[in-house]
Amino acid sequence: MIFEPTAIPGAWLLRVERLADERGFFARVWCRREFADHGIEIDMVQASVSRNEQAGTLRGMHFAKPPAREGKLVRCMRGRIFDVLLDLRPPSPAYLKHIAVELDAEACDAVYVPPGVAHGFQTLVDDSDILYMMSDFYRPALSAGVRYDDPAFGIRWPLPVTRIAERDQAYADFHP
C-alpha cells in the first residue's frame, strides 16, 4: 500500500500496489503493521457495507462522539463516490476544514478517517457499494453528525442530491 498524507492530520489516502498478470491483479488492502509504521495504531473490529442504488445519493456527515475512538477505512467496492472528510477536532490545525477525494472500484484506493473527523460521501454513478472497516464498535448513543450543506463548512457536492436520510438533512447549523 502507498500511504499519501492529506491536509487533515492523521487522515490518509491509501493507494493499492497492484501485482498484475494475465489473470488480473492482486493487492494488499489492509495490514496492521503498515498502518502502525505510519503512526496508526488500530485494530479493526467491525466491517459494514453501504449499498447505494442511485447516483446523487448522499450519506453523511457522520462521526462518533467521545469517548468513542472510531477510525474508519473506507473503500468503494463498486461504482464511484465523492468522499469527504471534515476535521471536527478543535486542537487540529485543520479544524473545520475538509478534503474531498474520488474513490472508485477500478482503482481500489481507500481513505483512512481518524477519530474526530466527520465522514460522508455522494455517489457519482448508480449502484455504488462502499466498504467500511471500523476501529471501534458502533454505539448508537455516540453516533452524531453535522449537516452536509452547512454553510460553516462550504462543502461543494458535485451532483444534486437525489436521496438522503432525514437525519442527515435535519442536523442544526454548526456552532463551535
CA diameter of the chain: 54
145, 70 Cβ separation under 8 angstroms: no
Walk me through the domains of the chain, giving residue ranges and CATH numbers: 43-170 (2.60.120.10)
For residue 176, pLDDT over 90 is answered with no
pLDDT in tens, 97-124: 999 999 999 999 999 999 999 999 999 9
- Tell me, what amino acid is at 31? C
User: What is the spatial distance between Cα 37 and Cα 159, in angstroms, rounded to a whole number?
Assistant: 37
Residues annotated as catalytic are 62, 132
Alpha-carbon gap, residue 22 to 97, rounded angstroms: 43
Confirm if 87 and 98 have CB atoms less than 8 A apart. Answer: yes
| pLDDT tens string 14-67 | 999 999 999 999 999 999 999 999 999 999 999 999 999 999 999 999 999 999
Residue carrying C-alpha cell 455504488: 128
